[in-house]
Structure 1
Amino acid sequence: MVPIDKVVVSIGGSVLIPGNNDSDYIARLAEMLISASKEVQLAVVCGGGKTARYYASTGRELGGDTYQLDIMGIGATRLNAQLLGVALGDMPVRVPETVEETANASKPGKIVVMGGTEPGHTTDAVATMVAREMGADRVVNATAVDAVYTDDPRTNPSAERIPEMTIARLGEIVYKEHDASRSSVFDPLGVKIAEECRIDISMVDGRDLIELEKAILGKPFNGTFVNSH
């Protein structure tokens, strides 16, 4: 039997629950993931999005420190994982809380969904940790933008789109400082793990399910391919 690719999808909370036909999108996302899982072995890591940002900002106003804000953010990611689980028809009563738990539960035809793990680790970093533990071929980062740019295209119209890049180049772009609820192109720890383990990263608009599915299946897609080899 020919071994199938193992893929970890890191899907941002801002993609899952931006407040824009969320239930319709999540239902279609689940349908696509179920279809894709017939061809690749899938694990999904959900981000916290606006729910995490709300608790981070409110908690900060109340005097919370970074550790406390991270704990609340992790709770938000696990809520989002359960929400996706509902759409997949398999909502976990308890979402996997460790990378090892997710990797051990992963098998062909079964989609394992999790959120964050511990303070200081973003869900992008967690996704690459899961990929390392599973021996995955790639991480697909489903984001709110359609590719990696030289700057934020939402604020800088002159930002240049980068269709393909090396993992070293990505490392030069990402933020170097972790902060609760802060958003960046990709987590620097995740980049380091991907580089060390030669895990490719695909950046794609998470709401474009056609392109997202192509990236998951390892087909040419409209986004940014980060080559780790």
Structure 2
Amino acid sequence: MKTLIISLGGSIIIPAPDKVDVKFLKKFRQLILDYTKRGNRAAIITGGGKINKLYNGFAQKIAKIKPIDLDWLGISFTRANAELVRSIFGDYAYEKIITDPTKKIPARGWSASGGKTNKKIIIGCGWKPGCSSDKDAVLIAKNLGAKTIVNLTNIDYVYTADPRKVKDAKPIKKMTWDEYKKLIGGKWIPRMNSPFDPIAAKLAAKLKLEVAIMKGTNLDNFKKFLGGKKFKGTIIK
């Protein structure tokens, strides 16, 4: 039995403030169900999405908002997205979202040593300010003794520079945690654009985790990853 930790980017779930990507979620749901029917477990941690960015913008137009309060706004949207994802899995998922990734997972059979369970899917969300939900995925991995996280985000690879700003930015297929941390820096800013947030990266490096970063909407590619086949993305370890 394998336990896969998935950091599901909020912009994949909600690509626009007024849109939930229903087509993606239908396919994602079936892919995860197929994966767990083979005896595996999946822990899915959701991000906030474009509506989070919209609300942050509204708040900042009204007053000067502290970074910690912007983080709390974001956490509320990660929870809403977690409830959405939990609901589409119905009885296949544990009935409560995981809001504290450091506590013992209450679902039966969900421990580092495993065990029998009829709920092979759990859904989690943001927990505390000062980082993105990527860190919660790392904390869940630590809690469950998992060694691999897949980060479904809005880019195909980690690049040498922001490809939206630098034309000759090159994709990186494999890199070390030291190389990654040097590339993105170590400071967290609410709603910052980074493939895997710097606070999460620091902890993942300490725990010697492997993180696969890939474009979340390319589910055929994700399926290849799940099957142990060659896939399009970046491995950090």
User: Normalising by the residue count of structure 2, what TM-score does the alignment of the two structures yield?
Assistant: 0.86
Q: By how many angstroms is 1:89 displaced?
A: 2.2
Superposition map of 1:149-228 within 5 A: 149-226=159-236, 228=237
Where do 5+ consecutive residues of structure 1 fail to align? none
Query: Of 112, 129, 143, which aligns to 2:122?
Result: 112
Partner letter of residue 12 of structure 2?
A: V
Percent same amino acid at aligned positions? Answer: 29
Q: Decide whether the 8 Å contact of 2:97 with 2:122 is kept in 1.
A: no
Distance 1:93 1:60, change over 3 A: farther
User: In structure 2, what is the equivalent of residue 9 of structure 1?
Assistant: 6
Distance 1:140 1:59 in 2: 32
Partner of 2:31: 32
Distance 1:6 1:201 in 2: 14
Decide whether the 8 Å contact of 2:135 with 2:200 is kept in 1. yes
Counterpart-to-counterpart distance in 2, 1:92 and 1:36 = 16
Q: CA deviation at 1:121?
A: 2.5
Counterparts of 1:81-120 in structure 2 under 5 Å?
A: 81-90=82-91, 94-101=96-103, 103-105=105-107, 106=110, 110-120=120-130
How many residues align? The count is: 224
Taking the aligned partners of 1:102 and 1:47, their CA distance within structure 2 comes to 22
- The answer to whether the 8 A contact 2:186-2:199 is kept is no
**Alignment deviations for residues 116-166 of structure 1 (CA, whole Å, 9 cap, x no partner):** 001112111111111111110201010101111101112322100111111
Say if 1:175 and 1:187, in contact at 8 Å, map to a contact too.
no
Partner of 2:153: 143
The 8 Å contact of residues 41 and 111 in structure 1, kept in 2 or not, is answered as yes
Stretches of 4+ moved more than 6 A in 1? none
Give ranges in structure 2 of 5+ residues lacking alignment.
Answer: none
8 Å CA contact 1:9–1:216 kept in 2: the answer is no
Please state if 1:57 is matched with 2:32: no
The more displaced of 213-222 and 80-89 is 213-222
Decide whether the 8 Å contact of 1:43 with 1:102 is kept in 2.
Answer: no
2:77 is paired with a residue of what secondary structure?
helix
